[in-house]
Amino acid sequence: MFRSLRKNKQAREPDGLPRHIAIIMDGNGRWAVRRAMPRTAGHAAGAEAFRRIATYCKDIGIEYLTVYAFSTENWKRSADEVSAIMGLLEKYLTEAIEKMERNQVRMRFFGDTSILQPSLRDLIARAEELSEVFSGVQVNMCINYGGRAEILRAAEAYACDIASGKTSGSLSEGDFSAYMYSSGIPDPDLIIRPGGEMRTSNFLLWQSAYSEMYYTDVLWPDFNKKELDSAILAYQSRKRRYGAV
């Protein structure tokens, strides 16, 4: 049962909020299968859950929300399922662009978008350009993203800068972070994985070194404001020592 209203309000106290929440949006397909529906229906329900949570994060004052929308491994799924996911992404971005000025949500995209369809690439570029001036929550969508691929990409970019003389051979963690898709964004304070699985699945491997993890059996389409409040309350109950005593 969800915690009391008093504690629910406590979860939304600005001083106790994580700056950056990241979510592995897992369980869409299983949600649909349990209801004797096609997996694509689960992804549509998951897209609605994302809209609700993104709006709620903006309303309570979360600064950054990063979501795992499509991984580098998701291409292994059926062509119909991949096509449905890409169609939902296009639909969401089209609607987001139309409502962008009203919602004041900044958008960035992590991952190799070069292999996506031109129509989706155009929407991604337009969403980033138009939202750059907004001051609301920043939503980072990971599309064709993998944590290992991101680290390899960063290493290759650093090697190119060494070879061209743009940088010296000295390298700190901060320097290397600047080569990540998440450059300029604080690491996630809290990573949430709905769906019952207890692994990171190649998500934000570099950035999650000291993130607090929260797992729940609730499937992503059923994840709501109360579930997010529960995750935030769990985060607030922990002491982040970063290796110290």
Take residue 139 and report the two structure tokens written for it. 């939503």
Q: 40, 5, 45: which is closest to 218 by C-alpha?
A: 45
Residue of 8, 74, 103, 224 marked active site: 74
Distance CA 242, CA 80 (A): 44
10: exposed, middle or buried (Cβ count in 10 Å: 0-12, 13-18, 19+): middle
88 to 53, 57, 111, 218: CA distances (angstroms): 17, 21, 17, 22
Estimate the crossing angle of helix 39-60 against helix 79-98, to 10 degrees.
Answer: 30
Asked if 26 is an active-site residue, the reply is: yes
Residue of 26, 187, 189, 229 marked active site: 26
Asked if 103 is an active-site residue, the reply is: no
Q: Which residues are catalytic?
A: 26, 74
